[in-house]
Structure 1
Amino acid sequence: MNSFQEVTMPTITKISAQKRKGRYNLFLDDEFAFGIDEGVLVQYALAKGQELTSAQVAEIQEQNNFRHAYNIAVNYLAHQLRTRHEIWTKLEDEEVPPAYIKQVAAELTSQGYLDDTAYRDSFVRTQMLTTENGPTVIQRKLRDKGISPDLASIDAITDIYPEDEQRQTLAKLIAKQRSHYRTSSAREQERKVRQHLYAKGFSGDLISQAIAYADFTPDAEEEADALATQAEKYWRRYASKGLAYQKRKTKTMLYQKGFDLDAVSNWIADKEASEE
């Protein structure tokens, strides 16, 4: 009698295609074993009738798990560039174990598909060409995407988006905003424009330079037209409150809006006289 039993190895008895392209079902000893990626199938030259050791089965499953995670990442990258953080988050959402995420990240990095520096450069250039955002807004967007602080520093961004380019964007923004606030006083226009430029992410120094170049010195005719438009609005708004209140409140509101107090008083006097 033999002192040991003969060890039999599982045999591939069937390989069938799944409905999903690039995926196959692997059967060992006439029983379904696991789904397998086409790349793994080719890598190990798997075929019907082939015997596999338990170690080989484990290795194939490991490679299959990696390939599954890798394919998720590649499909995610197919639509646009992604940061390392975005890839990691996507794979976590797909419940890929951390060990495989690290493998995938390393593989994509070695292939040149995952490069946060290249991503930053491309992102900044796209923002320059397609938006009116300044460096601090761009920086915030980069950090939201997981780009590290050193790569997303203001200095790094302005190396790609130099001040001359920023000044051109500022000039366009100022022209657009002045048109939007054309019924406001020159002082109010400047205040609102400055506020908007800060919100768009430009530095205080560049904003001041751009505003000085744009010259918000009031034009007498435009200022008078803006005053008349605003004054009529407030005069009607407070008409039911009594003349004294109407005059006081209209004057206060117009002064807060940046109009000259003497010009406001003259408009109210003229208005009051015309209604007598």
Structure 2
Amino acid sequence: MTVTKLESVMKTKYKVFLDGEFAFVLYKGELSRYGIREGIQVEDELREKVMNEVILKKAKLRAMHLLEDMDRTESGLRDKLKQGLYPEEAVEGAIQYVKSFGYIDDLQYARRFIESRKHMKSRREIYAQLCSKGVSSDKIELAFEDCYEMGGEKEAILQVIRKKKVDPTQATEEEMRRLYGYLARKGFRYDDIRQVIQNYNENA
């Protein structure tokens, strides 16, 4: 493989292209240490050395740092590493590294996510949010089974009504129509909405 281009990312940091394809990012001192400059031939042995000694090591450290900042899904962590210009090989290695310590677990993430939101949001809304974070549908369904009892959304409906400051026992027909519409758009089932409103005095 030939180093076809070194592209400056910042003053001391460069993208390295091998045979016209982006390979990895190195600092100026690392380029010097491994003798990498435009036009030279890079043998597989040298590429592997750079990947293992520099790129993969950095990717693992970056992954650990990102998980210190906040809880993440596997997909979310993968995206952040790619944004940091780590090649796919290093991203996969870093993912497997943090997985080996149990630092990312999409099922546990989904459980925590649901528990923190189930009293204010519908299952449908939570499901959509978890999907957007890259959690697989089978893990979401398993997490729902763990976190919800029968009729578990009724408390969330009650909390939304309280937040809207609408008293169903005193509301006009128009206010009730708007309330039903709002709750339906939030993803709550009609039967659950009706039961909560009918029994509002008992729950309030």
TM-score by length of 1: 0.52
CA contact (8 A) 2:51 2:90 kept: no
Partner of 1:76: 66
1:105-149 deviations in Å (ceiling 9; x for gaps)? 1111111011111111111112136xx111111101100100011
SS in 2 for 1:82: coil
- Residue of structure 2 in register with 1:143 after alignment: 131
State the SS of the aligned residue for 1:78.
Answer: helix
Structure 1 residue 89 displacement after superposition: 0.8
Q: Share of identical aligned residues, percent?
A: 23
Say what the alpha-carbon RMSD is for the aligned residues: 3.2
Runs of 4+ that moved beyond 4 A: 24-27, 54-60, 180-184
Instruction: State whether structure 2 residue 82 is matched by structure 1 residue 96.
Output: no
In 1, the alpha carbon distance for the partners of 2:79 and 2:44 equals 32
* Gaps in structure 2 of 5+ consecutive residues: 1-26, 35-42
Does the 8 Å contact 2:169/2:200 carry over to 1?
no
- Aligned match for 2:162, one of 150, 175, 186: 175
Give a deviation string over 1:152-173, Cα, whole Å, max 9, x none: 23x7425303345432232232
> For 2:44 and 2:111, how far apart are their aligned partners in 1?
45
Structure 2 residue 182 is matched with structure 1 residue 196: yes
Cα distance 1:178–1:190, how it changes in 2: closer, same or farther (>3 A)? farther
Matched, 1:33 2:33: yes
Uncovered stretches (5+) of structure 1, i.e. residues with no partner: 1-23, 35-53, 216-276
The answer to whether the 8 A contact 1:124-1:160 is kept is yes
How many angstroms apart in 1 are the aligned matches of 2:160 and 2:95?
A: 40
Alignment of 1:22-171 (within 5 A): 32-33=32-33, 60-63=49-52, 64-128=54-118, 132-153=120-141, 156-171=143-158
Shift of 1:202: 2.0
Determine the structure 1 residue equivalent to 2:24.
Answer: none
**Which AA in structure 2 matches 1:113?**
Y
Aligned to 2:196: 210
- Separation in 2, partners of 1:57, 1:142: 41
Give yes or no for contact 2:114–2:143 (8 Å, CA) kept in 1.
no
Q: Is the 8 A contact 2:110 2:130 kept in 1?
A: yes
Structure with more contact order per residue of length (Cα contacts < 8 Å, sep ≥ 6): 2
Give how far 1:97 is off: 0.9
